[in-house]
Amino acid sequence: MQDIRVQPSPYNFAPVHQALQRYVDADVLAGVSSAVLHGRELVDLHCAGWANKEQGELLRSDHIFRIFSNSKLVTSCAVLLLWEEGRFGLDAPIDSFIPQLAQRQVLRPGATRLNDTEPARSAISIRHLLSHSAGLSYGLLDPGTMVYQAYSERKVLHHRNTLDGMMDKLADLPLLFHPGTAWEYSVASDVLGRLVEVVSGQPLDAFLQSRIFAPLGMVDTGFVVPLAQQHRLATLYHGANVLQPLQPGLKPSDTTPFKNANLEPSALLSGGGGLVSTLPDMLALLRSLLPGGPTLLKADTLALMVRNQLPAGCCIRFAGVGELRGMGFGLGGAVMHTPSSIDPPDAAGEFQWGGMAGTHWWISPERNLAGLLMAQRWMGFWHPFALEFKQQVYAAVRA
């Protein structure tokens, strides 16, 4: 396990711990681990609650979590490692490597049929995929829509697909918009995982192990938890009401995202959401993206990652939520332009993302600060506990 000794600091993180404990006591979270980096120094680490509430197993810093969309940061780093080697340009068309994605069609505005399309004005580029501006969708967050139904019927995300097989399923699906003109959360990171395989000549898991996990000492990160370590996998819980994230009540699940996920090998090496990891491993990754020591990527690449890649006037938007006007997207994570009323006022310039079950990371280049949360509550992405954690951390460092 990584060295996770907390260094002395002048900051009082007791309010941070109290806030997270409150969510555990309210039966909104079973357990949550948190960590704060000031520069590359670990200045706070805290575990609250249980890894398995029914069995009374207290949460420890070495428990393993399903990190879902935190996998996207790892896959983005893999792509950028290959880019640094000159294996492709960021604006290269993806169909040069994945022919199934050539000759894209785009849904016309107001289309009610999948075949009501027009030719894409440009190819999908690697930059578009890294910034989720390719026009692809997910088939996860917009139930009831025509595109959601199409992705679901074709089982685009089914765990029995290989990444190459997923590309086949995407081949005849139209884009939501012309590449580079809007933002839509999507399977783009899984397409990038396939790009890594094609360019490197290795399966995605082998590339990640040799180029990221082993060099950084991330010993517990991968697509499958070894049998001897499966007792360390934290239980995943569903909240009582997906539309009311603060309603008490938790129910354990062993079928999310599917039965035996991460306990046995799956055909789909999902670079968008398939990894497990630990708090120490994720800290190692975050440290490698911060100045002041050895970094995974070059300094210029890190600066590019945290720079907004979306066109002028474009921002993140989610179905049912709408536009988040102060937030763009870089190469692998969201970029905060203007903090909203629920963000710390000094979070401008922040680079961040999270996973569907409540694992979150954020890096503030302006404040030389980074935060990490590890929880297992389904539909925990940008949950109130994560927002309050960030507010409390900024307040502690500001005081």
Half-sphere exposure of 312 (CA within 13 A, CB side): 0
- The tens digit of pLDDT for each residue in 202-234 reads 999 999 999 999 999 999 999 999 999 999 999
**48 bridge partner residues:** 32
Average pLDDT over residues 42-59: 98
Chain mean pLDDT for the chain: 96
Is 397:318 a contact under the CB 8 Å cutoff?
no
- Domain segments of the chain as ranges: 76-204
Is 394:367 a contact under the CB 8 Å cutoff?
yes
- The tens digit of pLDDT for each residue in 250-302 reads 999 999 999 999 999 999 999 999 999 999 999 999 999 999 999 999 999 99
Q: Determine the Cα–Cα distance for residues 196 and 207; give it in Å rounded to an integer.
A: 8
| CA terminus-to-terminus distance, the chain | 32
Angle at 260 between CA 51 and CA 164, to 5 degrees: 125
Q: Determine the Cα–Cα distance for residues 192 and 74; give it in Å rounded to an integer.
A: 11
Give the whole-number percent of the chain exceeding pLDDT 70. 99
Identify each DSSP E strand in the chain by its residue range: 31-38, 41-52, 57-58, 64-66, 105-107, 117-119, 236-239, 250-253, 276-278, 316-318, 322-324, 327-329, 334-336, 351-354, 360-364, 369-375, 377-378
Q: Which two tokens stand for residue 43?
A: 């200045």
Which pLDDT score, from 0 to 100, does residue 238 have?
97
Q: Determine the Cα–Cα distance for residues 153 and 393; give it in Å rounded to an integer.
A: 43
Residue 1: band (very low, low, confident or very high) from pLDDT cuts 50, 70, 90: low
Fold of the domain spanning 76-204: Beta-lactamase (3.40.710)
